[in-house]
Amino acid sequence: MEKMVVTGGAGFIGSNLAEHLLDMGHSVVVIDNLSTGRKTNLSGWAENAGSRFQFLQMDINETDPLRQAFSGVHCVFHLAAIPSVARSIENPAATQKANINGTLSVLTAARDAGVKRVVAASSSSIYGDDPNLPKREDRMGRCLSPYALSKVVTEEYCRLFYRLYGLETVALRYFNVFGPRQDPNSHYAAVIPRFSTLLLESRSPVVFGDGEQSRDFTFVANVINANLKAASAPNVAGEAFNIGCGAQTSLNQLIDKLNKLLDRQLKPKYEPPRKGDVRHSVADISKAGKMLDYVPSISLETGLQHVLDWYRTHPAEAIITS
Ligand SMILES: NC(=O)c1ccc[n+]([C@@H]2O[C@H](COP(=O)([O-])OP(=O)(O)OC[C@H]3O[C@@H](n4cnc5c(N)ncnc54)[C@H](O)[C@@H]3O)[C@@H](O)[C@H]2O)c1
C-alpha cells in the first residue's frame, strides 16, 4: 500500500476520493485551506483511520511545507482549486492565485520530493466556445472565463513538468460531477445539489436561461474510478482525458428525472442566462476508454437516486438557506 496526497481533500470530490483511497488500504494526507471545503466532509470516516490519515490545513501556495508533506508520496491527486466559473469572473485574481499559482506550487513540490505521478483535476470548461459535439481532447475553442483559462494553464504546466523534469502528470477533464457532500448552499452551487435539495423540500428550482442547455452529468464514483486508473495506467504521462458519461441531458430533462424519482411535478422558474456558461457540453470518452480502461459504470439515474438518498439522510446539508 502507498502513501497518497489529495489536495482539496476536504472538498466534494476530494473527500470522496480520499475516503476511497483509505478504504483501499493506502495512507492518505489531505491538504486543504478550507476555503470552500469543510471539515465535516472528513467526519465519519477519517477519524477511524488512525495513523493512516493526516489532515494538513494549509494553502497549496506554501511550497516549502508542501515539499515536506510530499516526502515518500507515490501519487498526488491535485484537486484544490476555486472551482467556479462565476467566482472567477467576479474575481479573476483569486482564481489565478489558487488555480494557476497553486498548481505550479504543487508541481514544483512534487518534482522536488520525487513524487511518482500527479493526477490533476481539469475541466470541460476548457472547451470554451468550440461548438463541436461531442467534446474531443484535441479540439478546443477560446476560453469563456478565467476559470477555464486556469485549467488550460494547469494542463500546460502538467505537460511541461513531464517534458522538462520527467514528472509523470495526467490531467482529467471532469464534466459536471455530482454526488454526496456537494454543497447545495453555495451561491455558486452546481445544479444537481441545488435542484435535488429544493425538490426534496417541494420548492421550485431556478433555471438560468431556457433550460435547454445540456450537460454530461457524471456521478462522483465514476470520477474516483478515473483517478485510480490515471494513477496507475502505463504510457499516459503528459496526457489529458475527458471524464464524463458520454450522454447529453438538458436541465429541463434533469428536472423531469428528479421529479419522477421523487414523485413530484414541480415546474422550474426561469431567469436570464449567466455569463460564461457554455450552451451544450458532452464528452467523447473514447480516449479515456482506450488508454485508461475507463468505463462510467454508474448511470445518471442511479447517481441521482444515491444523491437524493444522501440528502434525505443528511438533512442539515439539504436545507437551502438562500
Ligand atoms: N464539481 C465539478 O463538477 C467539477 C467539474 C470540473 C472540474 N472540477 C474540478 O475538480 C476539483 C474539485 O472540485 P470540487 O467540485 O470538489 O470543489 P470543492 O470546492 O468542493 O473542492 C475544492 C477544494 O479545494 C480547496 N482549496 C481551494 N483553494 C485552495 C488552496 N489555495 N489551498 C488549499 N486548498 C484549497 C477548497 O477548500 C476545497 O476543499 C477542482 O479542481 C475543480 O476545478 C470539478
Helix/strand/coil for 29: strand
pLDDT band at 76 (very low <50, low <70, confident <90, very high): very high
Q: What size, in residues, is the chain?
A: 322
Tell whether ligand 1 has an atom less than 6 A from the beta carbon of residue 59.
yes
Mutate to test the pocket of ligand 1, among 56, 77, 118, 123 (most ligand atoms within 8 A of CB): 123
Where are the domains positioned within the chain? 3-177+220-246, 191-214+248-282+298-318
CB 283 within 8 A of CB 135: yes
Tell whether ligand 1 has an atom less than 6 A from the beta carbon of residue 9.
no
pLDDT at 284 over 60: yes
H helix intervals, 70-207: 85-90, 92-95, 102-113, 146-165, 191-200
Instruction: State in Å: Cα 147 to ligand 1 middle.
Output: 12
Q: Which atom of ligand 1 is nearest to the CA of 182?
A: 20
Q: What is the pLDDT of residues 38-48, one digit of tens each?
A: 999 999 999 98
CATH code matching the domain that covers 3-177+220-246, chosen among 3.40.50.720, 3.30.200.20, 3.40.50.11540, 1.25.50.10: 3.40.50.720
The pLDDT, as a whole number, for residue 320 is 54
Q: What is the pLDDT of residues 1-20, one digit of tens each?
A: 999 999 999 999 999 999 99
CB 247 within 8 A of CB 300: yes
* Domain 191-214+248-282+298-318 of CATH type 3.40.50.10140: no
Tell whether ligand 1 has an atom less than 6 A from the beta carbon of residue 35.
yes
Q: What is the pLDDT of residues 115-136, one digit of tens each?
A: 999 999 999 999 999 999 999 9
b/e per residue 172-191 (b: at least 16 CB within 10 A)? bbbbbbbbbbbbbeeeebbb
Tell whether ligand 1 has an atom less than 6 A from the beta carbon of residue 32.
yes
- Please give the grid coordinates belonging to residue 280: 451544450
Q: Which atom of ligand 1 is nearest to the CA of 80?
A: 24
* Residue 238 Ramachandran class (φ > 0 left, ψ -120 to 50 alpha, else beta): left
Tell whether ligand 1 has an atom less than 6 A from the beta carbon of residue 147.
no
Short-list 121, 3, 21, CA closest to 68: 3
Q: Find the mean pLDDT for residues 234-245.
A: 98
- SS3 percent helix, strand, coil of the chain, rounded to 5, is 45, 15, 40
The pLDDT, as a whole number, for residue 318 is 57
Q: What is the pTM of this model?
A: 0.96
Over the chain, what is the mean pLDDT?
A: 95
More confident residue, 59 or 86: 59
Instruction: State in Å: Cα 48 to ligand 1 middle.
Output: 24
Instruction: State in Å: Cα 164 to ligand 1 middle.
Output: 27
